[in-house]
Structure 1
Amino acid sequence: MPLLLTRRSGAASPTSRSEDSTLPVLLEFQSPTKAIIAAPVPGAARGTIWMIGSMFAACIAAMWLIPIDRVVTAQGKVVSQAPMMVVQPLETSIVRSIDVTEGQSVHRGDMLARLDPTFAGADVGALQAQVYSLQAEAARMQAEVEDRSFQYSGVDPPMLLQAAIHAQRESERRSKLESYRQKIDALASTAARSTTDVTAFRERLAVAQTVESMRKKLEALQVGSQLNALIATDNRLEIERSLSTAIKTGESAKAELAAMIAERDAYDQNWRVQIAQALSEGSRKLSDARESLNKARLRRQLIELHAERDATVLTVAKVSEGSVLQTGEQLITLVPVDAPLEIEANIAGRDNGFVHVGAAVAVKFDTLPSTQYGLAYGTVRTVSADSFTAQDSTKAHSGSVPVNPANTEPFYRSRITLDRLMLHDLPAGFHIMPGMPVAADIKVGKRTVMAYLLGRILPVMSEGMREP
Structure 2
Amino acid sequence: MAWVDGIRGLKTGRGGAMPRRRGDEVAFLPAALEIMETPASPVGRAIGGTIIAFFTLGLGWSWLGHIDIIATASGRIVPAGRVKVVQPLESGIVTAINVQDGDHVTAGQALIQLDSTTTTADRDRVAADLAQARLDVARLTALRAGIAGQPVAAAFAAPADAAPILVERARAATLAQEAAQRAKVAALDQQIAQKRAEAEEVAVTTAKLTASIQLLDQQVEMRRKLMEMEYGNKLSFLETQQKLVESQHELTAQKQRAEEANAARLALEGQRAQAVSDYGHQVLEDLAAASQKVAEHSQDLIKADQRLGQQTLTAPVSGTVQQLAAHTVGGVVTPAQSLLVVVPDDVPLVVEANIDNKDIGFVHRGQDVEMKIETFTFTRYGLVRGHVLDVSRDAVTPERDTAGGSAAQRAGGDPEAGARDHPPSATPTYLAHIALDRTTLMVDGHEEALTTGMAVTAEIKTGRRRVIDYLLSPLGEYVHDGMKER
User: Which residue, out of 437, 441, 449, partners 1:421?
Assistant: 437
Which of 24, 28, 31 matches 2:22? 31
1:442 and 2:457 are equivalent in the alignment: no
Say yes or no: does 1:212 pair with 2:230: no
Aligned residues: 439
Q: Equivalent residue for 1:322?
A: 330
Query: Contact 1:342 / 1:416 at 8 angstroms: preserved in 2?
Result: no
Equivalent position of 2:395 in the other structure: 385
1:269 counterpart letter in structure 2:
S
Give the alignment partner of residue 397 of structure 1, picking from 399, 402, 407.
Answer: 407
Judge conservation of contact 2:108–2:315 (CA < 8 Å) in 1. yes
Q: Secondary structure at the match of 1:142?
A: helix
Query: Could you say which residue in structure 1 is the equivalent of 2:110?
Result: 111
Give the TM-score taking structure 2 as reference length: 0.73
Residue 441 of structure 2 contacts residue 450 of structure 2 at CA under 8 Å; is this kept in 1?
A: no
Percent identity over paired residues:
24
Contact preservation (8 Å) 2:227, 2:233: yes
Task: Tell me what 1:14 maps to.
Answer: none
Structure 1 counterpart of 2:190: 182
User: Does the alignment pair 1:100 with 2:99?
Assistant: yes
| Counterpart-to-counterpart distance in 2, 1:451 and 1:6 | 57
In the superposition, relative to structure 1, how do residues 363 and 240 fare at CA in structure 2: closer, same or farther (>3 Å)?
Answer: farther
Query: In the alignment, which residue of structure 1 is the partner of 2:263?
Result: 255
How far 1:455 sits from its partner (Å)?
1.5
Deviation at 1:99, TM superposition (A): 1.8
2:152 aligns with: 149
Shift in CA distance, 160/408, structure 1 to aligned 2, threshold 3 Å: closer
The reply to whether residue 62 of structure 1 matches residue 53 of structure 2 is: no
User: In 2, are the aligned partners of 1:343 and 1:418 still within 8 Å (CA)?
Assistant: yes
Aligned ranges for residues 287-436 of structure 1 at < 5 Å? 287-337=295-345, 341-348=349-356, 351-352=358-359, 354-356=361-363, 358=365, 360-366=367-373, 367=375, 369=378, 372=382, 374-382=384-392, 384-385=394-395, 397=407, 410-419=426-435, 421=437, 431-436=449-454
Distance 2:284 2:13 in 1: 144
Tell me, in whole angstroms, the C-alpha distance in 2 between the residues paired with 1:462 and 1:170.
Answer: 99
Q: Quickly say closer, same or farther: Cα 1:388–1:305, change in 2 above 3 A.
A: closer
Aligned to 2:474: 456
Which of 263, 269, 277 matches 1:269?
277
* Rounded Cα–Cα distance in structure 1 between residues aligned with 2:312 and 2:266: 69
Decide whether the 8 Å contact of 2:355 with 2:429 is kept in 1.
yes
CA contact (8 A) 1:152 1:159 kept: no
Q: Distance in 2 between matches of 1:176 and 1:129?
A: 33
Residue 43 of structure 1 corresponds to none
Q: Is there any run of 5+ residues in structure 2 with no aligned partner, and where?
A: 1-7, 26-36, 38-44, 401-405, 411-417
Q: Is the 8 Å Cα contact of residues 347 and 414 (structure 1) preserved in structure 2?
A: yes
Whole-angstrom distance in 1 between the partners of 2:145 and 2:280? 10
Cα separation, 2, equivalents of 1:288 and 1:30: 125
Q: 1:136 to 1:242 in 2, by over 3 A?
A: same
1:218 CA displacement? 3.6
Change in 2 beyond 3 A, CA 1:399/1:347: farther
Aligned mate of 2:237, from 229, 239, 244: 229
Alignment RMSD: 4.6
In 1, Cα distance between the equivalents of 2:409 and 2:334? Answer: 25
Contact 1:378–1:420 under 8 Å retained in 2: no
Relative distance call for 1:270 and 1:404 in structure 2 (3 A) is: closer
Structure 1 residue runs of 5 or longer lacking an equivalent are 12-25, 38-45, 391-395
**Deviation of residue 315 (structure 1)?**
1.2
* CA distance, structure 1, for counterparts of residue 145 and residue 398 of structure 2: 69
In structure 1, the residue matched to 2:34 is: none
Judge which range, 335-344 or 300-309, deviates more: 335-344
SS, match of residue 97 in structure 1: strand
Secondary structure class of the residue paired with 1:103:
coil
Distance 1:450 1:433 in 2: 41
The alignment partner of 2:428 has SS state of strand
Decide which moves more: 99-108 or 411-420: 411-420
Contact 1:352 1:412 in 2 (8 A): no
State the distance in 2 between where 1:110 and 1:61 align.
Answer: 68
Partner Cα distance (1:61, 1:399) in 2: 56
Instruction: Name the CA shift for 1:90/1:455 in 2 (closer, same or farther; >3 Å).
Output: closer
Partners of 1:85 and 1:290 lie apart in 2 by: 32
- Tell me, yes or no, if structure 1 residue 244 matches structure 2 residue 252: yes
